Amino acid sequence: MSQQDEIRQVSRSESRAALAKSTEFAESAKSELGESRWNSAGLTAIHAGISAADSVLIASAGLRSTSKDHGAVLQLLDDQVPEFATTQRRQLGGLLKMKNRVAYEQRQLTETEARQLVDQADRLTRWAQRVVDDHLDT
């Protein structure tokens, strides 16, 4: 299956729903930090970042990645979203790099790791809000 087979066109208006998920996940991740639930905070932050990436790709290009490999979205964002800069690539890449470790490995996240993931997700979500607003308000 080629990367092209793992992309589908969607209405740009769907970016608002993806952004709402990102915002909800980011807020939940912060709440989990407050309860010292490091693993839950980290995984929820990762999902916030994935939804932020989805919202930006949809708003900017009208595309959604359907690949099971979340890392494939990095290349799509590079190719399709002019606003996807080094900072956002580093933040999203950092979240995606931790996904399998947090979700499937037995090692527990530390408080520091969880806080870093939540911070990255929060920044990505705020960036996604700006990008979605810019593309849908034009």
Domain boundaries defined on the chain: 3-136
What is the rounded distance in angstroms from the CA atom of residue 58 to the CA atom of residue 72? 15
- Sequence-separated (6 or more) residues with CB below 8 Å from residue 44: 25, 28, 29, 32
Q: What is the mean pLDDT of each run of 10 residues along the chain (138 residues)?
A: 71 95 98 97 97 96 88 90 94 94 92 97 97 88
Quote the DSSP letter at residue 57.
H
What is the rounded distance in angstroms from the CA atom of residue 77 to the CA atom of residue 71? 10
Q: Please report the pLDDT score of residue 61 as a whole number.
A: 94
Partners of 64 in beta bridges: 8
Q: Residue 138 is which amino acid? A: T
- Sequence-separated (6 or more) residues with CB below 8 Å from residue 38: 32, 108, 109, 110, 111, 113, 114
Q: Please report the pLDDT score of residue 11 as a whole number.
A: 94
Q: Please report the pLDDT score of residue 138 as a whole number.
A: 58
CATH 1.20.120.330 fits 3-136, yes or no: yes
Global pTM reads 0.92
Q: Please report the pLDDT score of residue 42 as a whole number.
A: 97
What is the rounded distance in angstroms from the CA atom of residue 18 to the CA atom of residue 34? 25
| Dihedral angle over CA of 113, 115, 121, 126, nearest 10 | -150
